């Protein structure tokens, strides 16, 4: 790392020589050590998106292109108008590196951070979701330890703040063994008026700048630089102390902030996350076109003797910055006093366009407000990995096991089994909004009290598919998460994403990123889904093997359901009803669970996405909903449609009598047909008398629908009409296997 000097003090920075020269030219002088530190942080990959910005350009016009988008990428969170005067804010973020070394506090402070992002859009955080990736659990105490404490960290923090964790997703794969992924998402609900009250900008000169919440300590200085390198590059000693979260203080911050916003006196609001005060102040003033004079003496610190460098760069948790109208100061301070939150007026905004920080007599920071946010971008090289060709050529081996045995192995595999062990630890009901709860549907559904509207939200992607084909795989993630909200009756409204990739300086890693973004972009444009935010986490590499994680562009979708009667749930409900498979099953087993669980391979060609068929399928389902023709719905993914059907039997202990004679339209081998992971399919339950009308609507939309059989009251699944033998499965046994896998692995 290059070193810079100022006044005899030396500092190692993560800036390129070119950046260093540019900074000196811009200021026309040697920056102070504090200023160097601020540039270092703000130009880090984590804050500046310097490698990813060239690709993220595609995302930049959501507000212009979609009326419902109130805030798009670039803001702390995406915000959409959902009618009746309400808006939703949502965002997803990664907290991978801290969680990999300290799963409990790493995950907890991840939740803390995402809550702040939502809060500073002026709305109340009402739900959390947690897409996770770990190494496989079996015989692997390290992965078990990570999962156990990540879940506990999320639970302790989310539960205490009173924000329900309404869903999530988890995959287990070797590539995440030392670099697990902890992504966290939050949804906020408020009125459009609340949102307009508190932009994360300081537009007006003369306003007070108030710091509220926890005190500023020496912890977490340079957390963002940590997130901008691989774990190996940072030796134990270099690693900043992982932050300790304080959910109780966060809860108080939420209540005090919301009460403050309601007064109308707050004119700007910003959370202190990566880069601490530096980052918050430069964004507030830089983007607001103002400047500010801050007096360091007023910043309350946890320990005596902190230097201006430490104070400006501290990433201590649980702090917020408020920009307050002069006439509102008294009222706002009274609110902070009521909640007994530490706070201080640390300065005022002005029209200088310069951010100045005074430490006694000295001006330790004196920078144009926009200087810090203008980080240069870097055009990275991309190259597709050499190993992919060989992987794509791998074929599905001839089955050596009975189909029934395979079913048992799949239903109890780590990636397909029930995730109840996780979500039981989350309070998923606080707030009395949770209508479809964890495990009852593909997405979490929340009511908006006082309206007849419901929000559905889902997160996920398939890392194995993305590894084989990032372009199709990223689209597949969109198909799956959209499919999850659609399965519950919702129309997808908008998306945010969290891109988890390897070292962008490696052309292969950057290629994955680049192709995944192309996929996201193309899909969203065709299906008219606004992209309202994202987060990029690079440098996720396996410390020991020096290989990258499987590329994981996690997608988060929110959708809206109008009317309680339009909520659809997953379980089969009534014996006698039809079981229909929507969508075409092709021989698409690349990166499937079938391959990895049964044969230990991960090659083949993963599912391809055809946007026009996907769109037709969605419109078809929404039409069925509007005519009240669907009793249950579950989208098909890992393990194929037979796993989907089994899962639909579990809750009410029902069974299925299937005859597949006419449904294998591509004449596939039995195992390939059953376990294919072709995207965009659903299994629905409908009344037998509605069969003809459903087929008619399907034809109008050009969607392939096949009746597979009927629901039966006995808990067994009978599969006839295969090329080879019939299969007889015991639902109780399958349910037991599905339920016991995680507890058995975790409670040794």
Partner 1 sequence: MTIKIAVIQFPGSNCDFDAVHVLNNVMNVDAELIWHNNFKEAHFDGCIIPGGFSFGDYLRAGIIAAHSPAIDEARVMLKDGRPIIGICNGFQILTEARFLPGALLRNESLKFICKWVNIKVENNKTAFTNRIEKDSVLSIPIAHAEGRYFTDNLNELEDNDQIVVKYTNKRGEISEESNPNGSLENIAGVCNLEKNCIGLMPHPERASESILSPKGTTHGKLFFESMIEFIKKRGF
Partner 2 sequence: MSKDENWIVEIVLENKPAARDPVGTVIQKDLLAKKGYEMVSNVRSGQYLRIYLTANDANDARIIIDKMCNELRIFNPVTQNLTILNVFKT
Near partner 2 in 69-108, by CB under 8 A? 101-102, 104-105
How far apart CA 91 and CA 78 sit, in angstroms, is 6
Minimum gap (Å) between residue 525 Cβ and ligand ADP: 25
Minimum gap (Å) between residue 364 Cβ and partner 2: 23
How far apart CA 566 and CA 586 sit, in angstroms, is 31
Whether 46 is a known active-site residue: answer: yes
218 binds partner 2 (CB under 8 A): yes
Closest CA to 146 of 158, 137, 138, 155: 137
196: how many CB neighbours lie within 10 A of its CB?
11
Q: Which is nearer to partner 2, 127 or 320 (CB)?
A: 320
The residue ranges of DSSP E strands in 224-290, in sequence order, are: 266-271
35, 442, 469, 578: which one contacts ligand ADP (CB under 6 A)? 442
66, 172, 208, 339: which one contacts partner 1 (CB under 8 A)? 339
Span interacting with partner 1, options 39-47, 217-225, 435-443, 510-518, rule CB under 8 A:
435-443
156 binds ligand ADP (CB under 6 A): no
Near partner 1 in 649-708, by CB under 8 A? none
Q: How far is CA 471 from CA 511, 514, 641, in A?
A: 10, 9, 24
Phi and psi, residue 570, nearest 5°: -80, -40
Near ligand ADP in 130-149, by CB under 6 A? 130, 132
Largest CA distance in the chain: 87
Q: Which is nearer to partner 1, 26 or 160 (CB)?
A: 160
Q: What is the size of the binding site for partner 2 (CB under 8 A)?
A: 23
The binder of 63, among partner 2, Mg ion, partner 1, none, by C-beta within 5 to 8 A per type, is none
Closest CA to 604 of 396, 464, 408: 396
How far apart CA 648 and CA 578 sit, in angstroms, is 13
How far apart CA 407 and CA 674 sit, in angstroms, is 10
DSSP code per residue over 244-258:
PP-HHHHHHHHHHHH
C-beta of residue 91 within 8 angstroms of C-beta of residue 273: no
Near partner 2 in 144-183, by CB under 8 A? 145
- Which residue of the set 95, 222, 408, 465 is catalytic? 95
Helix (H) or strand (E) run with residue 531 in it: strand 531-537
- Helix axes of 507-527 and 611-626: crossing angle, nearest 10 degrees: 40
List % helix, strand, coil for the chain (3-state, nearest 5).
Answer: 40, 25, 40
339 binds partner 2 (CB under 8 A): no
Q: Which is nearer to ligand ADP, 161 or 165 (CB)?
A: 165
According to DSSP H, which parts of 548-690 are helical?
Answer: 593-594, 611-626, 641-650, 670-675
| 185 alpha-carbon distance from chain centroid | 5
Burial class (CB within 10 angstroms; exposed 0-12, middle 13-18, buried 19+) of 669:
middle
195 binds partner 2 (CB under 8 A): no
Q: What is the size of the binding site for ligand ADP (CB under 6 A)?
A: 16
429 binds partner 1 (CB under 8 A): yes
111 binds ligand ADP (CB under 6 A): no
544 binds partner 2 (CB under 8 A): no
173 binds ligand ADP (CB under 6 A): no
318 binds partner 1 (CB under 8 A): no
699: how many CB neighbours lie within 10 A of its CB?
12
Minimum gap (Å) between residue 391 Cβ and partner 2: 36
302 binds partner 1 (CB under 8 A): no
167 binds ligand ADP (CB under 6 A): yes
Residue nearest to Mg ion (CB): 442
How far apart CA 115 and CA 127 sit, in angstroms, is 9
Minimum gap (Å) between residue 230 Cβ and partner 2: 17
219 binds partner 2 (CB under 8 A): yes
19, 35, 117, 169: which one contacts ligand ADP (CB under 6 A)? 169
The residue ranges that bind Mg ion (CB under 5 A) are 442, 484, 635
170, 212, 524, 745: which one contacts ligand ADP (CB under 6 A)? 170
435 binds partner 1 (CB under 8 A): yes
Near partner 2 in 340-379, by CB under 8 A? 340
Q: What is the DSSP letter of 607?
A: P
Closest CA to 427 of 152, 165, 245, 186: 165
- Which residue of the set 46, 97, 343, 465 is catalytic? 46
The binder of 746, among ligand ADP, Mg ion, partner 2, none, by C-beta within 5 to 8 A per type, is none
Q: Which is nearer to ligand ADP, 355 or 438 (CB)?
A: 438
Near partner 2 in 120-139, by CB under 8 A? none
249 binds partner 2 (CB under 8 A): yes
How far apart CA 673 and CA 720 sit, in angstroms, is 13
| Buried/exposed code over 63-95 (b: 16+ C-beta within 10 A; e: otherwise) | beebebbbbbbebbbbbbbbeeebbbbbbbbbb
| 288 alpha-carbon distance from chain centroid | 28
The 3-state DSSP class for residue 720 equals strand
The binder of 218, among partner 2, ligand ADP, partner 1, none, by C-beta within 5 to 8 A per type, is partner 2
The binder of 676, among ligand ADP, partner 1, Mg ion, none, by C-beta within 5 to 8 A per type, is none
How far apart CA 412 and CA 665 sit, in angstroms, is 29
Minimum gap (Å) between residue 487 Cβ and Mg ion: 6
CA-based torsion, 509, 151, 89, 610: positive or negative = positive
Contacting residues toward partner 2, per CB under 8 A: 101-102, 104-105, 145, 214, 217-219, 239, 241-244, 246, 248-249, 302-303, 316-317, 340, 748
Contacting residues toward ligand ADP, per CB under 6 A: 130, 132, 165, 167-170, 419, 422-423, 426, 438-439, 442, 484, 637
Among all residues, which ones are annotated catalytic? 46, 95
Contacting residues toward partner 1, per CB under 8 A: 152, 155-156, 159-162, 246-249, 251-252, 338-340, 423-432, 434-435, 437, 440, 447, 449, 564
């Amino acid at each position: 790392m290059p070193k810079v000097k100022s006044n005899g003090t030396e500092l190692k920075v993560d800036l390129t020589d070119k950046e260093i020269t540019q900074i000196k030219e811009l200021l026309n002088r040697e920056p102070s050590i504090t200023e160097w530190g601020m540039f270092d942080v703000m130009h880090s990959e984590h804050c500046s998106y310097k490698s990813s910005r060239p690709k993220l350009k595609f995302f930049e016009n959501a507000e212009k292109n979609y009326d419902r988008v109130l805030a798009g990428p670039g803001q702390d969170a995406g915000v959409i108008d959902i009618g009746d005067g309400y808006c939703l804010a949502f965002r997803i973020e990664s907290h991978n590196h801290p969680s990999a070394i300290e799963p409990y506090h790493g995950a907890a402070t991840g939740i803390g951070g995402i809550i702040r992002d939502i809060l500073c859009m002026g709305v109340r955080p009402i739900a959390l979701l947690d897409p996770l990736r770990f190494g496989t659990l079996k015989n692997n105490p390290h992965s078990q330890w990570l999962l156990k404490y990540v879940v506990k960290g999320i639970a302790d923090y989310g539960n205490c703040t009173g924000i329900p964790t309404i869903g999530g997703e988890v995959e287990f794969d070797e590539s995440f063994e030392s670099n697990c992924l902890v992504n966290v998402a939050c949804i906020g609900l408020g009125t459009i008026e609340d949102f307009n009250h508190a932009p994360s900008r300081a537009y007006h000169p003369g306003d007070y700048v108030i710091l509220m919440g926890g005190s500023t300590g020496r912890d977490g200085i340079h957390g963002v630089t940590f997130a901008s390198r691989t774990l190996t590059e940072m030796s134990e000693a270099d690693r900043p102390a992982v932050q300790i979260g304080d959910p109780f203080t966060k809860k108080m911050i939420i209540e005090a902030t919301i009460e403050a916003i309601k007064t109308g006196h707050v004119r700007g609001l910003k959370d202190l996350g990566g880069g601490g005060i530096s980052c918050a102040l430069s964004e507030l003033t830089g983007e607001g076109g103002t400047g500010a004079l801050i007096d360091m003496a007023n910043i309350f610190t946890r320990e005596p003797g902190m230097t201006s460098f430490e104070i400006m760069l501290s990433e201590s948790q649980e702090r917020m910055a408020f920009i307050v109208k002069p006439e509102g100061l008294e009222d706002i301070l009274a609110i902070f006093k009521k909640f007994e939150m530490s706070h201080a007026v640390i300065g005022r905004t002005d029209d200088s366009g310069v951010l100045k920080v005074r430490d006694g007599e000295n001006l330790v920071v004196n920078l144009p407000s926009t200087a810090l946010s203008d980080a240069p971008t870097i055009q990275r090289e991309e190259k597709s990995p050499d190993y992919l060709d060989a992987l794509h050529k791998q074929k599905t081996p001839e089955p050596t096991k009975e189909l029934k045995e395979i079913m048992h192995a799949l239903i109890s595999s780590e990636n397909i089994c029930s995730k109840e062990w996780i979500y039981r630890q989350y309070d998923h009901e606080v707030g009395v909004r949770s209508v479809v709860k964890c495990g009852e549907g593909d997405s979490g559904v929340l009511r908006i009290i006082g309206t007849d509207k419901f929000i559905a939200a889902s997160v996920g992607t398939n890392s194995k598919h993305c590894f084989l084909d990032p372009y199709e795989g990223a689209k597949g993630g969109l198909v799956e998460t959209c499919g999850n909200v659609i399965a519950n009756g919702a129309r997808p409204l908008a998306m945010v994403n969290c891109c988890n990739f390897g070292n962008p300086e490696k052309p292969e890693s950057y290629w994955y990123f680049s192709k995944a973004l192309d996929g996201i972009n193309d899909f969203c444009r065709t299906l008219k889904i606004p992209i309202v935010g994202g987060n990029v986490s690079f440098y996720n590499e396996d410390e020991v093997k020096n290989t990258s994680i499987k590329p994981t562009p996690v997608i988060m979708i929110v959708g809206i359901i109008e009317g309680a009667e339009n909520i659809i749930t997953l379980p089969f409900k009534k014996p006698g009803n039809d079981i229909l498979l929507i969508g075409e099953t092709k021989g698409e087993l690349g990166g499937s669970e079938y391959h990895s669980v049964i044969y230990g391979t991960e090659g083949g060609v993963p599912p391809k996405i055809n946007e026009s068929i996907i769109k037709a399928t969605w419109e078809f389902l929404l039409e069925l909903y509007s005519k009240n023709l669907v009793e249950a719905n579950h989208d098909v993914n890992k393990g194929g449609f037979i796993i989907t059907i089994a899962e639909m039997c579990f809750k009410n202990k029902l069974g299925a009598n299937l005859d597949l004679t006419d449904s294998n339209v591509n004449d596939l081998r039995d195992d390939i047909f059953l376990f294919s992971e072709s995207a965009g399919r659903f299994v629905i339950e409908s009344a037998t008398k509605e069969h003809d009308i459903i087929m008619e609507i399907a034809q109008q939309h050009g969607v392939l629908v096949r009746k597979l059989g009927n629901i039966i009251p006995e808990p067994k699944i009978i599969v006839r009409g295969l090329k080879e033998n019939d299969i007889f499965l015991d639902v109780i046994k399958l349910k037991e296997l599905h339920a016991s896998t995680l507890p058995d692995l975790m409670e040794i």
